[in-house]
Structure formats: structure tokens, C-alpha cells
């Protein structure tokens, strides 16, 4: 398998505090790779270093064969990064925002086609501030796709969304993988990681304790003799909620 990202012995210090402590991992081309860890584990710092947005203290990073120290501009050209909400001009509509970003990348782009990919065609003339939480997330994923990137980075893409919008975003992320885009994401939701990620790294206090597929990690835990009380019921409250309210999005 082709390694599209390689991180070796990456260290990030903020003054005397070591936020990322010599971590190494790789991401295979075409996979969804998850960085999982509690708040403060160093996930965002790691992502932003790979995205060329933050400096590292030491270690090496390669993306699509480009070295972060030598070719950061080449890396920028092949990746897509979600902007924070503050990055969107409040008085432009979605079509105008996409055209603006496309201009920054010096690309011609069919804004409606891109909005269609993330099911926002009907909101083409709406302003960012008029969107629901799920729509905002879908729009920010659309903006990562403008330069036709090989890898996109999603930092907690479903935090704060209702169950319908979360599942809808999972479908979007899986559909992007099926078209060949490699995806690196962070999440606090283990059910999300289990559904989406081909492999995950468990990060805590700046150190990776395990990297494997979700299924292998679960099997390894079971092999230690771990036992969970069997569920008394074969459905959860979330199943009840989805069953009663349906899977359709409610925000439109």
C-alpha cells in the first residue's frame, strides 16, 4: 500500500511543555485514518503541523512524497483543510464563497456541482450564517475539495450535530473515500471511528499508544480476557430516536 503521509518522531514543544512527544505513524493512500484521544492529547497540533499551519520542534513529515521542511507549498497544493467558521465572509453566499476560494487556488470551478456533492444545491444563494450546524459542516467539507486534493483533514467534523446530521456526514465522508480521497480525521466519538476509520491511532498526552484497525484493537482487548456485561437490550436509545424521527435531515 502506498504511504501518502509519513510522520516520524514528531515533537512539538510549547515552551517547556511537550504537546507532541516523538510520535510516528503513516497514512495509506485511500484510507480514512483517525486520530483518537481525549482533549489536550495533541491531535490538533499534529494535524496543523502536517497541514503546514504550525511549526514543529523536530521530526520529519512527508505528504505525497513532499517533505514538510523543503516543500511546504507543494504540500499545500495537494491537501484540503477545513477552515474555522471565522474564515467565511458573512455577507457572501455559498456560491460566491466557493468562487472566492477557487480564485485563491487559481482554479476554475463549478460551484453548483461542488455544492451538489455535499447536498447543498438548494442553499447555493444562502449565506454561511444562515446554515444549520450540519449544513455548515457539509459546506466546510466542500471547501476542502476545491483544489481537488489527494488528502483532506477533518478536525472533529461531527461535534455538536444531531444524530441525523451526524449520519448524513458519515455518508458524505464515506462517499469521498470511495472516490479515492484519503481522509485524516479526529473525533471523540468511538462509534464514529468504528464506522468510518480503516485504521486509528490512539493518542494520549502527546504519545501514540496503539495504531490498528478498530476491529483488531477490539480483538486485542478481548484476548486479554476483557469482558463487558452483555447488553440487556438489543437496541439503544439512539436506535429508538432514529426509528421515531427517521434518518432524513431536519435542518433544510
Buried b (16+ CB within 10 A) or exposed e, 1-11: eeebbebeebb
- Residue with Cβ nearer ligand ADP (5 or 203): 203
Q: Which of 44/132 has CB closer to ligand ADP?
A: 44
In angstroms, the CA 206 to CA 42 distance is: 5
- CB of residue 53 vs ligand ADP: minimum separation in angstroms? 12
Cβ pair 141, 135 in contact under 8 A: no
Q: Which residues, in sequence order, are CB contacts of 65 under 8 Å at separation 6+?
A: none
Residues 5 and 27 sit within 8 Å (Cβ to Cβ): yes
Q: Which one of residues 5, 7, 19, 61 is an interface residue with ligand ADP (CB under 6 A)?
A: 19
CA distances to 22, 40, 74, 83, 138 from 97, in Å:
38, 32, 24, 12, 14
Contacts of residues 96-100 at CB distance under 8 Å and 24 or more positions apart, as own/partner, are 97/128, 97/139, 97/143, 98/142, 98/143, 98/146
Least distance between ligand ADP and beta carbon 50 (Å)? 12
Minimum Å gap between C-beta 184 and ligand ADP is 13
DSSP state of 93: B
**Could you tell me the smallest distance in angstroms from the CB atom of residue 156 to ligand ADP?**
8
Nearer to ligand ADP, 37 or 149 (CB): 37
Residue 183 φ/ψ, nearest 5 degrees: -130, 130
In terms of CB distance, is 14 or 89 closer to ligand ADP? 14
Residue 41 CB, nearest approach to ligand ADP (Å): 4
Footprint of ligand ADP on 26-45 (CB under 6 A):
37, 39-45
Least distance (Å) from ligand ADP to the CB of residue 185? 12
Q: How far apart are CA 8 and CA 24, in angstroms?
A: 4
CA distance linking residue 176 with residue 157, whole number of Å:
14
Cβ closest to ligand ADP, residue 19 vs residue 217: 19
Question: Does 14 sit near ligand ADP (CB under 6 A)?
Answer: yes
Closest CB to ligand ADP among 46 and 144?
Answer: 46
Q: Do residues 69 and 60 make contact, with C-beta atoms less than 8 angstroms apart?
A: yes
CB of 92 to ligand ADP, least distance (A): 29
| Identity of the residue, 47 or 142, whose beta carbon is nearer to ligand ADP in the bound complex | 47
Build a one-symbol-per-residue string for 44-63: x at contacts with ligand ADP by CB under 6 A, - elsewhere: xx------------------
Residues in contact with ligand ADP by CB under 6 A are 14, 19, 37, 39-45
Amino acid at each position: 500500500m502506498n504511504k501518502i503521509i509519513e510522520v516520524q518522531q514528531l515533537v512539538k514543544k510549547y515552551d517547556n511543555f511537550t504537546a507532541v512527544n516523538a510520535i510516528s505513524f503513516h497514512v495509506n493512500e485511500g484510507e480514512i485514518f483517525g486520530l483518537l484521544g481525549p482533549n489536550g492529547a495533541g491531535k490538533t497540533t499534529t494535524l496543523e503541523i502536517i497541514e503546514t499551519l504550525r511549526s514543529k520542534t523536530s521530526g520529519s513529515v512527508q505528504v505525497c512524497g513532499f517533505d514538510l521542511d523543503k516543500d511546504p507549498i507543494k504540500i499545500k497544493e495537494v491537501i484540503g483543510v477545513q477552515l474555522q467558521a471565522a474564515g467565511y465572509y458573512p455577507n457572501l453566499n455559498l456560491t460566491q464563497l466557493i468562487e472566492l476560494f477557487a480564485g485563491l487556488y487559481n482554479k476554475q470551478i463549478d460551484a453548483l456541482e461542488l455544492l451538489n456533492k455535499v447536498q447543498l444545491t438548494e442553499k447555493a444563494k444562502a449565506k454561511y450564517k444562515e446554515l444549520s450546524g450540519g449544513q455548515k459542516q457539509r459546506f466546510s467539507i466542500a471547501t476542502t475539495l476545491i483544489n481537488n486534493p489527494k488528502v483532506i483533514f477533518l478536525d472533529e467534523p461531527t461535534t455538536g450535530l444531531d444524530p441525523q446530521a451526524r449520519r448524513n456526514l458519515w455518508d458524505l465522508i464515506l462517499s469521498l473515500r470511495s472516490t479515492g480521497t484519503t481522509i485524516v480525521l479526529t473525533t471523540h466519538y468511538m462509534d464514529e471511528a468504528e464506522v468510518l476509520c480503516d485504521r486509528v491511532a490512539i493518542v494520549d498526552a502527546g504519545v501514540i499508544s496503539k495504531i490498528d484497525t478498530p476491529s483488531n484493537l477490539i480483538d486485542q482487548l478481548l484476548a486479554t480476557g476483557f469482558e463487558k456485561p452483555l447488553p440487556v437490550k438489543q437496541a439503544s436509545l439512539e436506535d429508538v430516536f432514529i426509528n421515531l424521527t427517521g434518518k432524513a435531515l431536519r435542518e433544510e
